Amino acid sequence: MNPLQLIPVDGIPEVKPGDVVAELIAASATLLDGDVVVVTQKIVSKAEGRLIAVDPDDPLSHKRAVLDESVRVLRRRGDLVMTETRHGFICANAGVDLSNVERGFAALLPVDPDRSARRIRDGLRAAANVEVAVIVSDTFGRTWRRGLTDVAIGCAGIAAIVDLRGTEDAIGRQLQVTEVCVADELAGAAELVMGKSEGIPVAVVRGVNAGWLRESSVQREIVRNAQEDLFR
Amino acid sequence: MNPLQLIPVDGIPEVKPGDVVAELIAASATLLDGDVVVVTQKIVSKAEGRLIAVDPDDPLSHKRAVLDESVRVLRRRGDLVMTETRHGFICANAGVDLSNVERGFAALLPVDPDRSARRIRDGLRAAANVEVAVIVSDTFGRTWRRGLTDVAIGCAGIAAIVDLRGTEDAIGRQLQVTEVCVADELAGAAELVMGKSEGIPVAVVRGVNAGWLRESSVQREIVRNAQEDLFR
């Protein structure tokens, strides 16, 4: 295996509806073929105009937005609502988020984050003449473990899951642990150099295994359908 | 934020009960103060003699070991048993694992993975005269998302969770997303350069925020107690 580098991209300006994310990235980062560009959902949602007005003095206003974005409520406790979104993501508040958004507004998840990733990838090919992969990331909680980690909600040009089934371990036994969600590991790795409070919304992972660079989709590969799921 | 490097450590030999993991790492890696050394559970368990005999021709033999390591069974489906271990981890087969272990044996989780991490950290201070952090990692599944990722089961000298509560986001609003589980993000990042089938059990993360280097514990900071948990 080769070393990997995690490189924060400084200098991305505040993003507004209608901005082209790929052009903002191309203006701030020097990219190489094979790089994986991880972009936080927040700037993707802003650029795509996925903002709604909420009344900052009326907590119900935010709550209504959460229910509008949900197909099902799984659990409630206090202010926390765990719901399933139209994408099939299960997360707090259906991903409706007030942080790093202008007062009076909330950011919704992109309608189709895989498509958002493909669009940024195509845009970077056009703007910077590079063949990169793109992951759109968001910050989710987990069951049973405290703390949040960044995971992939959309991807393009990079395997969501690498399937090791049929390969052998170092001592020739069939591997039991087989399907590694590299897209989530890459999203979490990128978070380490992003720093939410510094407002760095993009990071580059350089040196990723070339065998992982292929067409893929978070929706198809990562989202587990309800029948398969043991906990919902 | 500074760039990070993820560096695989080649050349660690097959580990046997009684081996000193810190000495094996010191012999194969050039470490710097402030590095985070991520070590997979498998070699820690082997060094600590956490191996049991299982009959490879009797599937019940593995199943009995799983139940012995569990305090509670949460779900069963086919061959998969999701249980809670004595540590409070909820994972498949209580972490009892046959891959990368000699035929006829299974590896159990370390009795106290935080202590294992501290021991490796102390050992590296002695063997290589460096002040590093250590994470012991294992590969767990998640609810709602397919694929597995590496997470921290023990740590020493690195924050398990970085608490951003009270800090402000880039546009001066109080941050909503507050507690980032950097230990899990570091464990997952390290997995990207480990390659299960190549048998690289150790990786170094270089350049981590110095503010994260402090005493910590997966047990105390990450394991969520049952009362707090919405899904069990």
* B11-34 pLDDT tens trace: 999 999 999 999 999 999 999 999
How many whole angstroms separate alpha carbon B195 and alpha carbon B193? 6
- Residues of chain A positioned with their CB less than 8 A from the CB of B226: none
How many whole angstroms separate alpha carbon A183 and alpha carbon A161? 7
Q: Are B177 and A7 a contacting pair at CB < 8 A? A: no
How many whole angstroms separate alpha carbon B68 and alpha carbon B62? 10
* Gap from A27 CA to chain B (nearest CA, Å): 19
Q: Over 90: is that where the pLDDT of B94 sits?
A: yes
pLDDT in tens, B105-162: 999 999 999 999 999 999 999 999 999 999 999 999 999 999 999 999 999 999 999 9
pLDDT of residue B166: 61
pLDDT above 70: percentage of residues in chain A:
93
pLDDT of residue A172: 63
Q: Over 60: is that where the pLDDT of B177 sits?
A: no
Q: DSSP code of B10?
A: -
Query: In CATH, which superfamily holds the domain spanning A5-49+110-223?
Result: CofE-like (3.30.1330.100)
pLDDT in tens, B181-224: 999 999 999 999 997 666 899 999 999 999 999 999 999 999 99
Residue in B139, B188, B194 closest to A184 by CB: B188
Q: Are B196 and A6 a contacting pair at CB < 8 A? A: no
Q: Are A193 and B169 a contacting pair at CB < 8 A? A: no
State the ipTM, two decimals: 0.94
Contacts within 8 Å (CB) and 24+ apart, A56-60: A56/A103, A56/A104
- Residues of chain B positioned with their CB less than 8 A from the CB of A107: none
- Residue A213, classed as helix, strand or coil, is coil
pLDDT of residue B138: 96
Tell me the residue length of chain A: 232
Question: What are the helix (H) ranges across A5-53?
Answer: 21-28, 41-47
Q: Are A147 and B231 a contacting pair at CB < 8 A? A: no
* Gap from A81 CA to chain B (nearest CA, Å): 11
Q: Are A3 and B8 a contacting pair at CB < 8 A? A: yes
Q: Are A170 and B197 a contacting pair at CB < 8 A? A: yes
- Residues of chain A positioned with their CB less than 8 A from the CB of B139: 177, 180
Residue in A171, A192, A197 closest to B189 by CB: A192
pLDDT of residue A170: 65
pLDDT in tens, A91-149: 999 999 888 788 899 999 999 999 999 999 999 999 999 999 999 999 999 999 999 99
Tokens of B109: 């989780």
Rounded to two decimals, the pTM is 0.95
- Residues of chain B positioned with their CB less than 8 A from the CB of A174: 99
| Mean pLDDT, chain A, integer | 92
Written out in words, the top-level CATH class of the domain with range A51-109 is: alpha beta
Written out in words, the top-level CATH class of the domain with range B51-108 is: alpha beta
CB B37 within 8 A of CB B105: no
pLDDT of residue A231: 76
Nearest C-alpha in A relative to B144: A224
If 0-12 CB within 10 Å is exposed, 13-18 middle and 19+ buried, where does residue A112 land?
middle
- Residues of chain B positioned with their CB less than 8 A from the CB of A175: 99, 196-197
If 0-12 CB within 10 Å is exposed, 13-18 middle and 19+ buried, where does residue B189 land?
buried
φ/ψ (deg, to 5) at B228: -80, -15
Residue in B102, B181, B192 closest to A182 by CB: B192
CB B195 within 8 A of CB B8: yes
Name the amino acid, one letter, at A168: E
Tokens of B159: 């924050």
CB B70 within 8 A of CB B83: yes
b/e map B128-166, b = 16+ CB within 10 Å: bebebbbbbbbbbbbbbbbbbbbbbbbbbbbbbbbebee
Q: Can you give the residue ranges of every domain in chain B?
A: 5-49+110-223, 51-108
